[in-house]
Structure 1
Amino acid sequence: MTDILLHHVPDSRSQRILWLLHELEVPFETRVWSFDKSLRSDAFLALNPAGRVPALEMDGRSFWETGAIIEILCEKVGRLGRAPGHAERADWLIWVHFSETISQHAAACTQGHVVLREDWMRSPTVLKLEAARIGKCFDAIEGQLSGDWLLSGFSAADVAVGQAVSMARRFHRIGDRPRLAAWMARCEARTGYAAAMGGPSLYAQEFYDVE
C-alpha cells in the first residue's frame, strides 16, 4: 500500500473515511483543516475542486467524494467491501450511498444551527423538515436491520451509515428504534470508531432541538 494522506475536518463527511482507514488497518497520515475559507484556497482546491472534505491523496493523485473513496479503498485493500458479482454487492452500494442522503439532511441542520449564527438567517420551517427527514432515514435503517450489521458481516457500509447517523442524531433522536440503537452501539464499541471520533467538534451541543 502506498502512502495515504487524508485531508479532514472534524465532524464532517471526512470522518467516515478516517474511521474506514482505521478499520482497514493501513498506514496513513491526516491533515486537519479548519471549517473556514481555507477550504477555498488554491492549495485545497487543487485537491478537491468543490472545496469540500474529504480529499484523499494516494497513488500520486487526489480522490474526492466519500462514496467513491470508500469504493476505491475497499477495492484496493480487498477488505470491507463487496466485489462485483458478490451476492451483497448491490445492497452494499445502496447502503454506502444512502449515507450521503442522511448526511445531506444533517448538513442542512448543521448549516442552520452552527454556520448561520444569527436567528434571522435561519428558517425554522426548513430545519423542522430536515430533522423530520432524518427521522425517516432512521426509520428506513430500523426497518431493514435484521442482524448485527447492515449486511451478513461488518463492512464499509456500516462505517458509512454509522458515521452519518452519528452526525444526524444531533438533530433527531434515535428514540424508540431498538434495532438502530443496538446497531449504533455495536458501531461505537469498535476500536476504529473510537479512534476516529475523538478530538475537537464543530458542535457546541450534543443535541439541537427544533423549536
Structure 2
Amino acid sequence: MTPPVLYHCPDSRSLRCLWAAEETGMAIDLRTLPFPPRAFAPEYRAVNPLMTVPGWVEDGRLMTESAAICERIAVGTSLELTRDEADYWQWRNWLHRSDATLTFPLAVMIRYNRVEPEERRLAQAVEDYRAFFGGRAKSIEAALSDGREWLVAGRFTIADIVIAYAAFLATTLGADDVLGDATRAWLARCTARDAFRRARERQKAG
C-alpha cells in the first residue's frame, strides 16, 4: 500500500502532522518544501492550489488543515478520544482552538517580522499580535492550573500536539515569556518526547 504523502516546511504548522505520525509509527512519504512554498515551490500548486502546508495526500484525496490531519492520523490510537470518553468535546475544542485561536496571531507575527521584505515589515503589528497571542494562551495555563500533566483525559493526545505546536512556535518567535509557568512546564514535557525529537530531526533530512 502506498503511504500517505505529507508536504511539509520545517517547523511550520505541518510539524504537527509529522509529530503525530512519529507518535503513532505511521509510515508516510515526507516531501519537504522551502518556505513559503508559494514563492519558492510553484510546482506545489498542482498538489495544493492553496499553496499552504501541510498538504496531506492519501488515496487521491487532499487534506490541508493540520489539526484535521492529526485527527486522521490518530484514528484507532491512544492519541484519539472516542465519543464515549468524558473529555471528548473538550478534546475536539482544543483541536479547533489550535489554529483558529492560537496559531493565527503567530502567523501574523511571522509575516510582518520574517516573510515580508524589510520595507514592508511592521513592528507595531508584531507587538500587537504578540500581546494578542499572550491573552489567548491564558486558556492553556487555565487548563493546566490544577496540576494535570496533559490537557485532556489524563493522557497525551493530539490535543497536546496541536496546542504544543502553537506554544513551541511562540518560543521560536521570542514570545515564550507570555506563556505561564504551568504552560512552559507542559511544553517542556511535550517537546522532550522522543517522537517530537525524531520529527524535528527527520525534517532536516527532508
TM-score, normalised on structure 2?
0.86
CA-to-partner distance for each residue in 1:115-149, whole Å, 9 max, x for gaps?
1231x312222111100012112222111113000
**Alignment partner, residue 73 of structure 2:** 73
Aligned pairs, how many? 197
Equivalent residue number for residue 143 of structure 1? 142
Q: Which one has the bigger helix percentage?
A: 2
Q: Which runs of 5+ in 2 are unaligned?
A: none
Kept in 1: contact 2:4–2:58 (CA 8 A): yes
Q: Is 2:162 the counterpart of 1:163? A: no
Once residues 44 and 83 of structure 1 are traced to their aligned partners in structure 2, the CA distance between those partners, rounded to angstroms, is 35
* Equivalent residue, structure 1, for 2:27: 27
Query: 2:176 aligns to what SS in structure 1?
Result: coil
TM-score by length of 1: 0.85
CA shift, 1:165, in A, is: 0.9
Identity of aligned residues (%): 29
Please name the residue that 1:194 is paired with: 197
2:132 aligned counterpart, secondary structure = helix
Matched AA of 1:148: E
Unaligned 5+ segments in structure 1 are: 201-211
Instruction: Tell me which residue corresponds to 2:93.
Output: 94
1:22-42 per-residue CA deviation (whole Å, 9 max, x = no partner) reads 01111112000111436763x
Task: Please report the RMSD computed on the Cα atoms of aligned residues, expressed in angstroms.
Answer: 2.0
User: Which residue matches 1:5?
Assistant: 5
Where does residue 129 of structure 1 map in the other structure?
128
Counterpart residue type for residue 133 of structure 2: I
Contact 1:106 1:171 in 2 (8 A): no
**Aligned counterparts of 2:179 and 2:18: Cα–Cα separation in 1:** 29
Bigger Cα displacement from structure 2, 44-53 vs 167-176: 167-176
